Amino acid sequence: MNRLNELLSAYQRRDPAARSKLEIFLLYPGVKAVLYHRVAHYLYVRRRFFLARWVSQRSRKKTGIEIHPGAQIGRRLVIDHGMGIVIGETTEIGDDVLLYQCVTLGGTGKDKGKRHPTIGNNVMIGSGAKVLGPFKVGDNARIAANAVVLDEVPPDCTAVGVPAQIARGRGEPIHFTDEVDQIHVDNPVHQELCALTARIEELEQELKNSKERTA
């Protein structure tokens, strides 16, 4: 009961549309998906694989959120909207993580063993982002909407783009889970192109001035 209460409190804190714990408990698909998963995971670790999958598929049908019963999920996972979320079998999710709709925590092939990501504590993953492979997304990291992450994300960093690159954060503690702004994120590729364009314009101006002096 305490874990359910803290889960509902996390939704209240992070979702401005949430009005009451009763509303969240009865109507929010993310809460239902997590509760279903607890049952499915309980069966899975006791090798009741068919029943575990049956529970998880029932959850998928009711919520639009697919969580493999083998996935390990920490405390206070908030799933905002949730439709289209897929979480693979060997995924590990820490505490206080925030996921938006259409997120995939998946693998990159048919490898055996650990093939899905490990998500640290206090991580935010934006709408449509894909995190693919058996690597770590560090604590307090932020993954921008529609990013495709194929390599490790260090703690306290932001990943953006396709494939994702580290945009900011290097070394400074930041806490993104309570932020919902997924728009104002600098793209490192765009920054490099702007810097190159500025340098080319500077060189062209120097060449022009040099020609004028020698004319």
**pLDDT at residue 215 tops 70:** no
Q: Give the predicted TM-score (pTM) of the model.
A: 0.77
- Residue 101, token pair as written in the block: 């709709």
| Predicted confidence (pLDDT) per residue in 57-107, tens digit | 999 999 999 999 999 999 999 999 889 999 999 999 999 999 999 999 999
* Residue 143 β-bridge partners: 125, 159
d(CA 14, CA 135): 27
| DSSP H or E segment with residue 36 | helix 29-45
